[in-house]
Amino acid sequence: MKYVLLEMDRILRPGGHVIIRESTYFVDAVATVGKGMRWICLKEKTEYGVDKEKVLICQKKLWHSSNTGSR
């Protein structure tokens, strides 16, 4: 799973979105990895309101190193 997410991160442009609809367990695991890649992740319920399935919406941010003043 993490290799697929890394490939998605490579392909996605900053500001791009990923929408994943899967079981709650899988969505939680993807959200954890996504936050580690500095994505903004938001979990939502499905239209059926079933607890065993969720929708995960993630956005890739543009981030810079914190060391910008040492040139």
Give residue limits of the domains in the chain: 2-60
- pLDDT averaged over 10-residue windows placed end to end, the chain, 71 residues: 91 94 94 94 87 93 73 55
Cβ pair 7, 22 in contact under 8 A: no
Residue 33 has what pLDDT? Answer: 95
**Tokens coding 10:** 């490579």
Cβ pair 60, 5 in contact under 8 A: no
Residue 68 has what pLDDT? Answer: 60
Residue 71 has what pLDDT? Answer: 55
How many residues are recorded in the chain?
Answer: 71
Residue 52 has what pLDDT? Answer: 86
Indicate the pTM of the whole model: 0.80
Residue 69 has what pLDDT? Answer: 61
Identify the CA nearest to 13 among candidates 66, 53, 67, 59: 59
Handedness of CA 10, 4, 27, 38 (dihedral sign): negative
